Chains A and B, each alone.
Chain A
Amino acid sequence: MSNTKNWPLWEVFIRSRNGLNHKHVGSLHASDSEMALENARDVYTRRQEGISIWVVESKNISASDPKINEDMFDPAADKVYRHPTFYDLPDELKHM
């Protein structure tokens, strides 16, 4: 038998209807991807919450470190010129 006591952990993503992104809904344990998909169906779509499921083994996800959030995301903070409201245009110009 395998040494790990728990089955691997999987992250579950559900597309609620076509046209929308898959969205992270939670996680579950399963021995393989097939079981993860079946369990995800039983656990996360009992009330027609989705029409498509992705499962990804949690260990395969690389996440950014919140401790370095300043370095990571601050460069975007002082670049207001990336937003349309930064530009002064006359009121007569109705839609742009």
Chain B
Amino acid sequence: MTTIDLEDQFMKRVAADEKIEPKDWMPEKYRKTLIRQIAQHAHSEVVGMLPEANYISRAPSLRRKAALLAKIQDEGGHGLYLYCAAETLGVERDTLIEELHSGKAKYSSIFNYPTLSWADMGAIGWLVDGAAILNQVPLCKCSYGPYARAMVRVCKEESFHQRQGYEILLTLCNGSAEQKQMAQDSLNRWWWPSLMMFGPSDVDSTNSEYSMKTKIKRFSNDELRQKFVDATKPQADILGIKIPDSDLKYNEQTSHWEFGEINWDEFHNVVKGNGVCNKIRLKERQQAWDNGKWVRDAATAYAEKREQRKNESKQVA
């Protein structure tokens, strides 16, 4: 069969909502697009642990601390599910990690913003995880089997992340005036970066068309962003804090909340590496990797020695 035939057959399978599995033939572009997206997703989970880690020792109660620890541990796990899914496409784990550390691979820009107060743990859970869930739920139906299956597990585990974050803010908003102000300040800082999490506007999104055609993606960036705004506005009202957008208004005709212009210069600037925390996040990742080297080496040496002993005892017998 020629490549054109194979490609034709592939597109027919995708159109019929059949899943593509690792050993199936797939166009190189599909493979590359998936590796890029899944790796970026995995890196985001792992880098996403860093802004929260700072608050493990600063959580205001044992209940909050246990929840935060569990959330961060989940994120490590989610990174792993995703790296494994990427590896089924023929890329090595170490290569992916190297690409993260060298800056060649990207991760979600949201994690390049600083976490300045405890309220940020609430806002991250509510807004950042909320946005991530909206992105991820349609990915459970992605055309690539291993990615879709990883997403099913991630989504199942992640719903508590958003709820615990919202509960943090709810507690602050029902507390003293200062505590409520902390929650408002946190919303002010995280609102716009959260909207940017859905990526460039559809007209500027270079990768979207192919991803939609091959059913890696099922909704466009702007569609998901709108869903997020519609879902989040009433949640902010329940908290009693105000979304920092003077253009936000309800359109009776469309039943959607219209929102103001996103600062795309800021978005591109942070993607390029000039956000407040880009450098420290990568430095901390690199440090964690370097500091873990002796553990990786020791485990490898131990496994080799055991294997060797096993072989020696076999020879004696």
A contact set with B: CB distance below 8 Å: 1-2, 5-7, 9, 26-29, 31-32, 35, 42-43, 46-47, 63, 65-67
Contact = CB atoms under 8 A, between A and B. Distances in A.
A66 B26 CA distance: 12
11 contacts: A5-B94, A6-B94, A7-B296, A7-B300, A9-B87, A26-B81, A27-B87, A28-B84, A29-B93, A42-B77, A46-B70
Which range contains the number of B residues in contact with the other chain?
Answer: 20 to 34
Nearest to A29: B93
B84 A26 contact: yes
B23 A65 contact: yes
B202 interface: no
Contacts of B99: none
A46 B306 contact: no
A46 B73 contact: yes
A31 B300 contact: yes
Interface of B: 21, 23-25, 70, 73-74, 77, 80-81, 84, 87, 92-94, 149-150, 153, 157, 296-297, 299-304, 306-307
Contacts of B296: 7, 31
A43 B77 contact: yes
Contacts of B93: 6, 29
Given A2-B300, A6-B94, A27 B84 contact: yes
Contacts of A2: 300, 304
B25 A67 contact: yes
A39 to B, nearest CB: 9
Among A31, A46, A65: residue with most chain B CB under 10 A: A31
Contact of A32 (B24, B153, B306): B306
A24 B24 CA distance: 19
Contacts of B77: 42-43, 46
A38 to B, nearest CB: 11
Nearest to B150: A26
B299 A66 contact: no
B73 A7 contact: no
A26 B306 CA distance: 26
Contacts of B300: 1-2, 7, 31
A66 B19 CA distance: 13
A35 B299 contact: yes
Contacts of B94: 5-6
A5 B81 CA distance: 19
The 10 A-B residue pairs whose C-beta atoms are closest, nearest first, are A31-B299, A32-B303, A31-B303, A5-B94, A27-B84, A43-B77, A66-B24, A6-B93, A66-B23, A31-B300
A63 B23 contact: yes
